Chain A
């Protein structure tokens, strides 16, 4: 071929054809497919409520985790409960308790209380009847 002019020469068709009645059947086929494929339309609110439920569930689980952990593993008793038990429930006297304390415990109690000498002096001078206890 020496020259070929696409624009001015005879138009070349694509050469594609379709099966007989293809387009007549296509519409029907398509409408059937759309009606069977069509899923029930859910409103945005419905979709959103699912997210709310999911978020709430995550929040509840998140909040519950520390409690669940505590009830399962925590075997230590807090000081206040122990004090209350010893004071009101048990028949161990103060003297028994004092005997159970060793020197380290006493030092720890002193450092915890941290009573200033000046405060002790002023308390003694303000409460004159304390002399009775001291002389006992």
Chain B
């Protein structure tokens, strides 16, 4: 988006709002869906979180100061929504977030919207052994192929710290894949 300020203005103006929001949806629905799906794993949950994300974006657009890019603001909202959703669902099921994630991975085998083979399932298991932040960095870098600079803006972490976090994550995932 070349002129982000003008686009935000269109999103806030009732006359241009619908068309602008349609543009926002068509530009971001796929990358944000993938981002959320990588966190929550299940399609129905990803659909719920994606809807909540866009609803929140729409409701809070008037408070968007433009201090960060629209892109990173959207990713931040999506990340928070996905993590909050996961933690709440784990709590509702009386489980820790880690145990709930394990259960979600197990149910991937029977998921109609997962076409992964054994290696792909094992990779998900390996990722689940990482701390939450490392998981996020790994998924955003490896699956979503976001640049370190973009990651830095979204996660508010220095590029150096992200590089080292990703490096450790890759090492641990590789070790898991060899051992299991």
Chain A residues near B (Cβ < 8 Å): 1-7, 12-19, 22-23, 26-27, 29-31, 33-34, 37-38
Contact = CB atoms under 8 A, between A and B. Distances in A.
28 contacts: A3-B178, A4-B174, A6-B173, A7-B170, A12-B120, A13-B116, A14-B116, A14-B120, A14-B143, A15-B121, A16-B38, A16-B41, A16-B113, A17-B113, A19-B43, A23-B29, A23-B33, A26-B25, A26-B29, A26-B33, A26-B50, A27-B22, A30-B25, A30-B51, A30-B55, A31-B22, A34-B21, A34-B55
B55 A33 contact: yes
Interface string B45-57: 0010011001100
Contacts of B174: 4-6
Interface residues of B, number: 36
B170 A17 contact: no
A30 B29 CA distance: 10
Interface class of chain B by DSSP = helix
Contacts of B178: 1-4
Contacts of A2: 178
Interface of B: 18, 21-22, 25-26, 29-30, 33-34, 37-38, 41, 43, 47, 50-51, 54-55, 58, 108, 113-117, 119-121, 123, 142-143, 170, 173-174, 177-178
